[in-house]
Amino acid sequence: MEKYDVIVVGGSAAGLTAAQTVRRHYPDKKILVIRKEEQVLIPCGIPYIFGSLQGPHENLIPDGAYEAMKMDLRVAQVVDVDRINKLVKTNSEEFVFKKLILATGSFPAMPPIPGHDKQGVYAILKDIPYLNELQERLKSAKNVVVIGGGFIGIEISDEIKKSGVENVCVIEIEEHCLSQSYDEEFCTEMEEQLRSRGVNIYTGSKVMSIDGNDRVESVALSTGKTIPADLIILGIGAVANADLAKKIGLRIGLTGGIVVDRAMRTSDPDIFACGDCAEKVSFFGGKSSALRLASIATLEARVAGANVFGIKRETPGTVGVWGTAIGNLAMGTAGLTEKMAKAHGYNVIGAVNESVNRHPGKLPGASKIKIKLVFEVNSGVLLGGQVRGDASAGEIMNAISACVLNRMTAEQIAMFQSGTHPLITASPIAYGIVNAAEAAIAKMLKVKE
């Protein structure tokens, strides 16, 4: 029976990152990663296998790190863990561990819609044969309906439309697509972009049933409308895969994830958990958070991996940083939107700046960038921000995240020392984050008068 200092269960974004972090912090330890997949998909790249990429084989996490960092890898299903004797049991072998990291990921959320089990209804599973089958079915599909207007839903619908499918529809129960992620003015811009690219959108519409005999033929909406469908894709989020943790008696949280402390320790001090399987705590107020993103997973993995033989890091809680792009329109959020902040009970002011990301604006590659920052009125602390523009929106949202994480005030952001260049940034006169902060300061002064 082989013995390891650290065993990681799961080999996707969190599992691989956790193992790499263990190796960097503890170079002499013996590490094993056990995963059930022969090959691992890049989670955020899955929508693009339906249009921009040729298929799942172009969207894989390379395995070179295991050999390069001298880590062992087994492809097997972990069926049990003996916590007393510190044994990990697969369907074919047993291994001894000193420390264990669970990174078992998530499952697609399955809606309680009558007919969701019919042929032709697909979830977004991180499974290559399953996705290959879906891709093959799309070749003959004429009417594709995507249920869910979040990131997964809009990105997949656009990619499928790009691939040549005749009719592609997105159905969203909220009043706008992406309404859980952006304020309304950003949501409407993305909806306009999708429609301009040929995707039909039905918002404020609940799917009442998926109809047909054995195979799907249509969906019935709460509005009374019936939409033809020969293929349906469910894109309504994910739930924690905590099945193994439940089986071995670890504590489970309110959102169904494995309860962890800020060091990513579970209720067993020798077992850590990270990624989608772990319960999240919000940076804002400390309540449970249902956010599940690859960026959160890898942060948690860097905490868990560093801490297995002594606490070195703690997570500050989930800020929530995300982006999406359709065509040449990119949007990002870091922290709370104005709508979210008000729902959390904050007294807020939102300020918007729109400028060009080159100077002068006639230079090649110039694009309008809109930035909205949300501040708590009394303290002036930044709670979050949103950005709309071209691909540069991605790094702007990350800059906003750094400001949120460090609880910077509007005054501190207004004094931000930025580097600028005509070909790669906005003018220092019109620098978006700074000018949005200045606009917020002016608003806050009026409120305090």
Are 18 and 305 spatial neighbours (Cβ–Cβ below 8 Å)?
yes
Q: Where in the chain is the domain with CATH 3.30.390.30?
A: 328-444
pLDDT at position 93 is 95
The string of pLDDT tens digits covering residues 347-357 is 999 999 999 99
For residue 43, cis peptide bond before it (omega within 30 degrees of 0): no
Task: For domain 328-444, say whether CATH 3.30.390.30 is its number.
Answer: yes
pLDDT at position 322 is 97
Place 449 in a pLDDT band, splitting at 50, 70 and 90: low
* pTM strictly above 0.85: yes
pLDDT at position 111 is 86
Superfamily of domain 2-107+239-307: FAD/NAD(P)-binding domain (3.50.50.60)
The string of pLDDT tens digits covering residues 173-185 is 999 999 999 999 9
The string of pLDDT tens digits covering residues 18-38 is 999 999 999 999 999 999 999
Q: Where in the chain is the domain with CATH 3.50.50.60?
A: 2-107+239-307, 110-236
CATH of domain 110-236: 3.50.50.60
Q: Ramachandran region of residue 438, left (φ > 0), alpha (ψ -120 to 50) or beta? A: alpha
The string of pLDDT tens digits covering residues 316-374 is 999 999 999 999 999 999 999 999 999 999 999 999 999 999 999 999 989 999 999 99
DSSP string, 118-168: SBTEEE--S-HHHHHHHHHHHTT-SEEEEE--SHHHHHHHHHHHHTT-SEE
pLDDT at position 377 is 96
Tokens of 216: 């799907």
The string of pLDDT tens digits covering residues 109-121 is 988 899 999 999 9
Residues β-bridged to residue 87: 82, 96
Q: What span, in angstroms and rounded, lies between the C-alpha atoms of 99 and 93? A: 18
Residue 243, pLDDT above cutoff 70: yes
Q: What is the enclosing helix (H) or strand (E) of 75?
A: strand 72-75
pLDDT at position 446 is 85
When pLDDT is averaged across residues 421-437 and rounded to a whole number, the result is 95
Please state, for a pLDDT cut of 90, what percent of the chain lies above it. 97
Residue 286, pLDDT above cutoff 80: yes
Are 273 and 260 spatial neighbours (Cβ–Cβ below 8 Å)?
yes
Place of tokens 């590490």: 31
When pLDDT is averaged across residues 295-315 and rounded to a whole number, the result is 97
> What rounded mean pLDDT belongs to the chain?
96
C-alpha distance from residue 264 to each of 256, 275, 299, 301, 443 (Å) = 16, 10, 11, 8, 40
Place 447 in a pLDDT band, splitting at 50, 70 and 90: confident
DSSP string, 239-278: EE--HHHHHTT--B-TTSSBP--TT-B-SSTTEEE-GGGB
pLDDT at position 380 is 97
